[in-house]
Structure 1
Amino acid sequence: MTGIGNEQDHFPAWYALVLLAIGVALRASTFGDPNLHVDEVFYQTVGIAMHHGAIPYVDVWDRKPWGLFFCYYLIAFLSSAPLAYQLVATVFAAATAWVIARIASQWSTPRAGLFAGIVYLLWLDRLQGFGGQGPVFYNLFMVLAGWLVFRSQSRLQAGHVPATVPTAMLLAGIAITFKPTAFFESCFFGLYCALLLYRSPLQRGPLATNVAGWMALGAAPALTISAWYWLHGYWHIYWQAMFLSNLHKPSFLYADTMRALVTFIILAPIITVATLSLATWHGGSRRFVGWWVLAALLGLISVPNFYMHYSLPLLVPLSLCTAAFFQRRATGPAALIALTLWSLQTSHAFDFQHTRQSKQAMHDLATAIRAHDTGGDLFVVDGPPQLYVLTGHRFPTPLVFPHHLGHLIEKDLSHLSTLGETRRVLGLKPGIIVMPDKPRQDPPNMEVIDAVNAYIAAHCRKVASIETPDLLTSARMNVWADCRKPPAPGAHGH
């Protein structure tokens, strides 16, 4: 239990199948859901649009890094159906759990490592990682980097730099292109390797050269993306999306504090088991994972909005921490059973009825839009962005993500005026407008909502009103159509 980087050749290969089966079982009820969560359906919408020439930030705007959209672009080669990204996300989740198990078995037993991987899969759902949130994908790159660093320790201490170290830095750099907060974990891996090499017999010159090379590899993916936008004349748009918009976004202390409290309450069972592990877990492995937890925590608090899925990167090192306790003969399995029951009691797993309702709602919305499509633009305001893809309509504005028009805290954060862009689109006389019957965001951007309502009142009629759930919320979406002619007297739609 005190060893560092002890490779255990008897780690059963079939554990990978166990973790994949568990991942599928926990997520199967969500497969095919076209409106699972507003974030990931937006990412999928952008990925599909990229196949038709759309440029992220230019043609469709958001603050998320390019790597996430590119991931969904690659998945769209398989299929534009939501099942494609959901299956790929399941494989990524199971693979991440397997690497967690593999690392944890270095200081515990293979069975305890397996249990740690299972905990990761169980708590993904609790932290809104039930589908294709960004960390579900980039956690795999980060945990692979951690594994490579962990395995390289003895070589670094001897003054040698194995190829696994620069590979780890490149993987960490790829993770940063999914979420900038991965920078903190990336820095930890780099500093940890540098410290081991500094204490080795290696001369200071080669040490500096290696560290500089690691930094260059870690920064290369993000710098390459930035250079592309600069060379193509989109730098001001990219800079606004990646940096200025985050600096100017207002925060709400009470809401942020409540979300942080709920997040740590949900994590409390894992934190408890991880803390109990400290009683019997000693040596370099504990220090390594302990510093990893701290780095992930710094990443979480660096963007103190504390949306639940922001804590998913922290789940990786926390799951690793549980392994030392799980190797106990009786209390280890008992703890896993308790954690499983605790997780499943509020899990979305096995809720097949919700997926059926979601499929039907999106089908009905798309059918209503097609039935009244006279060739004009579709304008979705604070509604499901995938309706553009489902009905074959272009984006009338780069502000496609629902919050960018409907949420007051998103007002004018892009390179576009929110109200100005709304008025520009309404000036195009869109033929169909989809928006909820009441604002979904708190606080709502009433300037936008009032402008759209005025257009609807003057030009459109309601042709459908459909309750549209996602896995966390539900809203009644109204379809307003025939907007190029005044509504007939006494027509109220249905």
Structure 2
Amino acid sequence: MLDFDEQLYLVVGDRILHGQLPYVDLWDRKPIGLFLFYSGVRFLGGDGIIQYQVVATLCVAITSSFIWTIVCRGTGMVQGFVAAIAYVLLLNVLGGTGGQAAVIYNAITICAVWAAFRSNDTQSPSRIIGLAMFAMALMGIAIQFKYTPMVEGAFMGCWFLLRMWQVQMPVLRIGLVAVGMVFLALLPTIAVFAYYEWIGHLDSFVQANFVSVFHRRPFPAVTRMWQVKFILIKALCVIAPTPLALALRWRMRLASNPADFWLLTGWTVFAVLGFGMLGDFYDFYFITVLPALCIMVAPLVGKERMGFAVGCMLCLWPLVFTPQHYFRTSVNRRAPVQLVDAITPYVAHRCLYVYDGPTILYLLTHACAPSRYIYPDHLTNPVETPALGVDPAQEEERVLTSRPGAIVTANQPLVLRVDPVTQNLVRTALARDYVLIARVPVIGRVLYVWALKDLHPGPASIMDPRGAIPE
């Protein structure tokens, strides 16, 4: 229970190995590459939880190593080391402790960025073309983890074309190479389109991946402002020094490779654009910008008067938030065990329905799901319900009619608003058909487990269901 999203990714990855299809049997709008990654993790044994965290740690190691390598192009090893460590520490406070999508694809993206920096070191057209094809192939893979890296990929593609023009490649050849670069970048996505068309479910794929994005309601402006404030506070150590670092790099550009300055600046700008393109500003969305910012501010660590202060700020500021985070996760470690013990006897022959709670319970209890919308936010959050492609009330009623063996609710929602129609349907079903069998505290909330009365010969009710599903 490190975070919410990666629980869903692991469950979907596991269910793929059992024959279920993303977007058809299990709905989400993330690209299929992310789920296939988690399917691969399941081959490492265990329940996949520690395994995905180990693989994510390797991805962090790759990303931080390339941060160090790129910083060392124009500054020293100490600056590179501080920038790399700052990236690792900031993940702990921006929702990147586990296997968030950006934690994984940052390792792919920065490899492509490294190829772009290497293109600044050569005047060989064939070498630049090779690096460009390598980078675009990587960005094509990154896009199948989340679509927002396409913004950074588009910038890098343009950078490689500029480099080809600078080494006086013929325009016709540049055009042919550009077509090849675009094809490589889109090849994984084209392959997914072709597969879903082949199996007859292209409409489900398109609805989940593209149509749903435009039907999703935006958060209120006040909510978005709070999101931005939290990010500014948490990532202050890399955001605040950026203007000064940009000015320093501008003065330094002629002393090193001027092209590196423009490449890094452009990458930073387009990474920020990719972060903001969805309109909602979750803290873990900002992880995609961290590598560029950590590299950008690194030269300040080498300045005589301010270097020590900047270095301390980069390494110590994240630690202000880290103890609270690890306290929360250590307490949450006990909750799944209690929940699984309470749920398991009631889902041997019936499904589990997590109306509000950790999605990982589907995996830990080996229970079937009564709906393809297994992420609780999808049927409970008014922001998400218009994007599902179905009537949420009808889907909720269908789920409850199937009479799941156990239902999980919470005493307060994670989101600011809850869909009142689906909420009332669940309340009615709990009062009529279910009995409360467990209360499990987590940080800031209490999770309730309800068992179907037919399976639990106990009292008719222990608690008014209105108190278990808040307004």
TM-score, normalised via structure 1 length:
0.87
For the structure 1 residues 253 and 101, does the alpha-carbon distance in structure 2 shift closer, same or farther, using more than 3 Å as the test?
same
1:480 corresponds to = 450
Question: CA offset at residue 484 of structure 1?
Answer: 3.0
Give the alignment partner of residue 310 of structure 1, picking from 257, 274, 285. 285
1:430 corresponds to = 404
CA offsets per residue over residues 87-110 of structure 1, 9 Å max, x none? 111111121010011011111112
Report the AA paired with residue 448 of structure 1. Answer: T
SS of 1:126's partner is coil
Question: CA offset at residue 357 of structure 1?
Answer: 2.4
1:172 corresponds to = 139
**Alpha carbons 1:157, 1:196 under 8 Å: kept:** no
Report the AA paired with residue 425 of structure 1. Answer: V
Question: CA offset at residue 295 of structure 1?
Answer: 0.7
1:229 corresponds to = 196
SS of 1:481's partner is strand
1:20 corresponds to = none
2:153 corresponds to = 186
In the alignment, is residue 200 of structure 1 matched against residue 170 of structure 2? no
**Alpha carbons 1:274, 1:325 under 8 Å: kept:** no
Report the AA paired with residue 368 of structure 2. Answer: R
Give the alignment partner of residue 366 of structure 1, picking from 340, 344, 347. 340
SS of 1:478's partner is strand
Of the structure 1 ranges 456-465 and 112-121, higher mean CA displacement relative to structure 2 is found in 112-121
Report the AA paired with residue 61 of structure 1. Answer: W
Give the alignment partner of residue 63 of structure 1, picking from 9, 12, 29. 29
Give the alignment partner of residue 422 of structure 2, picking from 441, 444, 448. 448
CA offsets per residue over residues 34-68 of structure 1, 9 Å max, x none? x1111111111111111111211111101111111
SS of 2:321's partner is coil
**Alpha carbons 1:432, 1:483 under 8 Å: kept:** no
**Alpha carbons 2:133, 2:181 under 8 Å: kept:** yes
2:314 corresponds to = 339
Question: CA offset at residue 372 of structure 1?
Answer: 3.9
For the structure 1 residues 250 and 143, does the alpha-carbon distance in structure 2 shift closer, same or farther, using more than 3 Å as the test?
same
TM-score, normalised via structure 2 length:
0.91
In the alignment, is residue 259 of structure 1 matched against residue 227 of structure 2? yes
CA offsets per residue over residues 117-149 of structure 1, 9 Å max, x none? 111112112221111111000001100000011
For the structure 1 residues 164 and 320, does the alpha-carbon distance in structure 2 shift closer, same or farther, using more than 3 Å as the test?
same
SS of 1:322's partner is helix
1:397 corresponds to = 371
SS of 2:92's partner is helix
Q: State how far apart, in whole Å, the 2-side matches of 1:101 and 1:342 are.
A: 20
Once the two structures are superposed, the pairs formed by residues 44-443 of structure 1 within 5 Å of their partners are: 44-79=10-45, 80-155=47-122, 161-251=128-218, 252-277=220-245, 278-279=247-248, 280-282=251-253, 283-328=258-303, 331-348=306-323, 351=326, 353-373=327-347, 375-443=349-417
Q: State how far apart, in whole Å, the 2-side matches of 1:356 and 1:255 are.
A: 28
Report the AA paired with residue 432 of structure 2. Answer: A
**Alpha carbons 1:404, 1:411 under 8 Å: kept:** yes
Q: State how far apart, in whole Å, the 1-side matches of 2:338 and 2:269 are.
A: 47
Report the AA paired with residue 209 of structure 1. Answer: L
SS of 1:314's partner is helix
Q: State how far apart, in whole Å, the 2-side matches of 1:50 and 1:485 are.
A: 30
1:8 corresponds to = none
Q: State how far apart, in whole Å, the 1-side matches of 2:32 and 2:418 are.
A: 27
Question: CA offset at residue 239 of structure 1?
Answer: 0.8
1:12 corresponds to = none
Q: State how far apart, in whole Å, the 2-side matches of 1:88 and 1:160 are.
A: 32
CA offsets per residue over residues 442-474 of structure 1, 9 Å max, x none? 2101211111111111111101111134xxxx4
**Alpha carbons 1:458, 1:486 under 8 Å: kept:** no
Mark the runs of 5 or more structure 2 residues left unpaired by the alignment.
465-471
**Alpha carbons 1:379, 1:396 under 8 Å: kept:** yes
2:468 corresponds to = none
For the structure 1 residues 51 and 486, does the alpha-carbon distance in structure 2 shift closer, same or farther, using more than 3 Å as the test?
closer
For the structure 1 residues 454 and 332, does the alpha-carbon distance in structure 2 shift closer, same or farther, using more than 3 Å as the test?
same
Of the structure 1 ranges 415-424 and 229-238, higher mean CA displacement relative to structure 2 is found in 415-424
Question: CA offset at residue 221 of structure 1?
Answer: 1.1
Report the AA paired with residue 120 of structure 1. Answer: Y
SS of 2:122's partner is helix
Q: State how far apart, in whole Å, the 1-side matches of 2:458 and 2:337 are.
A: 27
CA offsets per residue over residues 287-343 of structure 1, 9 Å max, x none? 110011111011112111011111111111111112222233564344212322221
For the structure 1 residues 166 and 485, does the alpha-carbon distance in structure 2 shift closer, same or farther, using more than 3 Å as the test?
closer
Q: State how far apart, in whole Å, the 2-side matches of 1:439 and 1:268 are.
A: 29
Aligned length: 455
For the structure 1 residues 454 and 291, does the alpha-carbon distance in structure 2 shift closer, same or farther, using more than 3 Å as the test?
same
For the structure 1 residues 117 and 381, does the alpha-carbon distance in structure 2 shift closer, same or farther, using more than 3 Å as the test?
same
Question: CA offset at residue 348 of structure 1?
Answer: 4.2
Q: State how far apart, in whole Å, the 2-side matches of 1:285 and 1:47 are.
A: 39
Q: State how far apart, in whole Å, the 2-side matches of 1:108 and 1:488 are.
A: 70
Structural RMSD (CA):
2.1
Q: State how far apart, in whole Å, the 1-side matches of 2:460 and 2:271 are.
A: 59
Q: State how far apart, in whole Å, the 2-side matches of 1:303 and 1:370 are.
A: 38
For the structure 1 residues 483 and 404, does the alpha-carbon distance in structure 2 shift closer, same or farther, using more than 3 Å as the test?
farther
For the structure 1 residues 269 and 231, does the alpha-carbon distance in structure 2 shift closer, same or farther, using more than 3 Å as the test?
same
